[in-house]
Amino acid sequence: MPKIYFIDCTNRDVVQASRMRLAKLQKTMVNIYLGQLGVHQSEFAFPYAKHEQNYVRANLELKELGAMGELVLEGWCRAVIPDVDKSLPTGVKDLNLSISTSDQMITHKFGGKLNREGVIKEMTQAVAFAKKAGVRTVGVNAEDASRTDMGYLIEFGQAAKEAGADRLRYCDTLGYDSPLSIYERMRTLAERVGLPLEQHCHNDLGMAVANSVAGAKGAVDGGVDAYINTSVNGLGERAGQADLLSCILAIRFSRDMESYEIGDNLNLKVATKLARYVAYAFHLPIPINQPGVGANVFAHESGIHADGMLKDRRNYELYDYELLGLDEGPAMGVPWWAEPPRPGRTITTGEYGGLAGFKHVYDRLGVAFPDDEIAEQILELVRYASGHTKLPLTDDELRFIATYPEQVRKILTLTP
């Protein structure tokens, strides 16, 4: 039976949203955590953009060094040959190529430069160019697919398949679909096109998670693998997109999903660390009611609820907090503000730190340096990294800098 996989778009969709920014070091840490979580793929960059290219190369090196497990690092481009051509020198081997397909956007976004036939031609030329150049996997994104005529969407998908595409991404760009409509459309596409299908659902009407799960179900029922696009904590453009952990929990624990299998080898104990880190990096606290990791998800006060939970947690909890790493606290390397306060004095290191404080912090992390010369080199990187993120560095960031100094230096260098 086909399976369901996850492609997280935090490092692409979220960072292009208004008021949302991550430093390159922080994007790298998100990739590392996604690898630890066991997610199939990270849409990690715009590899054709000059300011992303050192970050892209460094992350691909880190992947080869084993820092990201089995995580696939996939870049995003417009479905045009120049974008693909500019991306190739970075060494990226997996790409998603995007173009609008709805009449609304063909008419009012392209402004007469492309018609339906022109959209397909542009897309197929870009796909063929990428495959000929040695790109390993090519996904084709139908932007605004949920408002695209179904007959044309099938034609678009079939053309993508014939050109060599490996997946078709169905973008519910404005959150227009409902669970019932996306199920039927995904099942039809699966049966008529025969490509693995991605669901990229936005949350404008509050249904991104429900639509993603229903769409994945439709794809699997239609006979193809499903790839749910997500973001950490549901962040993203406008009202956000499907929350990664919510989708995982829905497939694991909701009614009638028992026969649908997640293909990713997930370690959900990393989920809390990832959610907290992303909240910290974006300066956006986790909502108190956030599924899985919100402060109130495992909190009980009502007499009836507290009594029932103490008798048997299943009375009021569908899944266990231990599953998500909520019992492991600072041992998971969560940001400093999420840890219990340490007793006595606290010494930190950062943009203006000196060698003595730096060595004290690393001693606490169990990291020793062979001599002061090497320690000074790492301290220099720590100073730049702190200035780069404009935040105190987390324990995991400090460990990462000491472990992979060459790649960190590349990540912190934005000039091409």
Asked if residue 199 lies in contact with residue 208, where contact means CB atoms within 8 angstroms, the answer is no
Report residue 318 as tokens: 């569908």
- What are 256-277's pLDDT values in tens digits? 999 999 999 999 999 999 999 9
Using CA atoms, how far apart are residues 240 and 249, in angstroms rounded to an integer? 18
Per-residue pLDDT band at 328 (split at 50, 70, 90): low
Contact in structure between 289 and 296 (CB atoms under 8 Å): yes
- Those residues with Cβ within 8 angstroms of residue 259's Cβ, 6 or more apart along the chain or in another chain: 1
Distance CA 160, CA 152 (A): 12
The pLDDT value given to residue 345: 61
202 phi, psi to nearest 5 deg: -100, 165
Residue type at 242 in one-letter notation: A
308 pLDDT band, cuts 50/70/90, is confident
**Domain architecture of the chain: domains with CATH:** 4-266 (3.20.20.70), 341-411 (no CATH)
Q: What is the pLDDT of residues 229-262, one digit of tens each?
A: 999 999 999 999 999 999 999 999 999 999 999 9
Instruction: State the Cα torsion 266-269-271-275 to the nearest 10°.
Output: -160
Q: Please, which residues bridge with residue 6 across strands?
A: 228
Q: How many CB atoms lie within 10 A of CB 370?
A: 7
Residue 189: is it exposed, middle or buried by C-beta count within 10 angstroms (0-12/13-18/19+)? buried
Which pLDDT band holds residue 329 (cuts at 50, 70, 90)? low
- Tokens encoding 352: 């203006």
Query: At residue 189, what are phi and psi to the nearest 5 degrees?
Result: -60, -40
Spatial contact of 302 and 240, defined as CB atoms under 8 Å apart: no
CB-based contact 248:262 (threshold 8 Å): yes
pLDDT in the model for residue 131: 98
Indicate if the pLDDT at residue 63 is higher than 60.
yes
Q: pTM for this structure? A: 0.94
* C-beta atoms surrounding 297 within 10 Å: 17
| Number of other CB atoms surrounding residue 147 within 10 Å | 18
333-353, pLDDT tens digit by residue? 445 444 544 455 677 888 888
